[in-house]
Amino acid sequence: MIQFDLPGLEVVGVSGMREGERGGSAVFLLHGWGAPGDDLVPLAEALKRPGARFFVPAAPLPERGGGRAWWHLNPNARPPHASTDQPAAGFLPSADVVAARAAVQALIATIIERHAPATVALVGFSQGAMLAIDVALAAPGVQLVVAMSGVLLMESVPALTALHPTKPRFLLSHGRQDPVVPFANGNRAKDLLEKHGFSVTWRPFNGGHEIPPPVLADVAQFLFSAP
């Protein structure tokens, strides 16, 4: 495990690959709101295998109790969830969401330049899942996206409906009894992605706001098994 700073983010790296070794897979894990910056390091360790590098950035915004956030949950300026693929009249994107997107895109670009991975994947939980979907839709270069207990943000709608020469594949999971991010919103994200031609593997489960062992197994297979 290595700690370093890249494009304004504190990042933990998990890999058995040598620094000068190129190729393989680069997997970026984005944690949820209020979690410690290294919250998904155990997930990276669980997924670790030869030929893969894992990067766990800490979200840039501090929250009470020592946690971090990609954007604050201000009730007066909370990024809305998309219910349709039509931009809302007069909608103004959240500056925090735009900044978080740019930071993760810069991190990905740095790792691509440094290591030339053959595959780039984004894995996110909760708020990190929302950001993972957003980043993957907004720019080319990401082939695989795992979004656990997330939704599609209104900020992501323009990129959802844009032309994509190549489309990332998605694995979405969501607990039917999720008390934090409603199951129906996650299901709606699946429907909207599929409507616009994205390949989506959908893994609902009986449970709450969590990553149960069967989903973890699905994530490993999705990331590291040939389609």
Mapped onto helix, strand or coil, the DSSP state of residue 219 is helix
Domain boundaries in the chain? 2-224
Q: What pLDDT score was predicted for residue 75?
A: 67
What are 82-98's pLDDT values in tens digits?
Answer: 888 888 778 888 899 99
Mapped onto helix, strand or coil, the DSSP state of residue 171 is strand
SS3 content of the chain, % helix, strand, coil (to 5): 35, 25, 40
The whole model's pTM is what?
0.94
Which residues sit opposite 136 in a β-bridge?
Answer: none
Q: If you average pLDDT over residues 129-144, what whole number do you get?
A: 94
Q: If you average pLDDT over residues 157-161, what whole number do you get?
A: 91
Q: What pLDDT score was predicted for residue 42?
A: 95
The tally of CA atoms less than 13 A away on the side-chain side of residue 78 is 10
What are 51-85's pLDDT values in tens digits?
Answer: 999 999 999 999 988 899 999 987 666 678 888 88
Q: Is the pLDDT of residue 226 over 80?
A: no
> What is the average pLDDT score of the chain?
91
The tally of CA atoms less than 13 A away on the side-chain side of residue 141 is 20
Could you say which architecture CATH assigns to the domain 2-224? Answer: 3-Layer(aba) Sandwich (3.40)
Q: If you average pLDDT over residues 178-190, what whole number do you get?
A: 96
Q: If you average pLDDT over residues 20-35, what whole number do you get?
A: 94
Q: What pLDDT score was predicted for residue 136?
A: 97
Q: Which pLDDT band, with edges at 50, 70 and 90, does 20 fall under?
A: confident
What are 203-221's pLDDT values in tens digits?
Answer: 999 999 999 999 999 999 9
Q: What pLDDT score was predicted for residue 66?
A: 85
What are 105-116's pLDDT values in tens digits?
Answer: 999 999 999 999
| Rg of the chain over all Cα atoms, to the nearest angstrom | 16
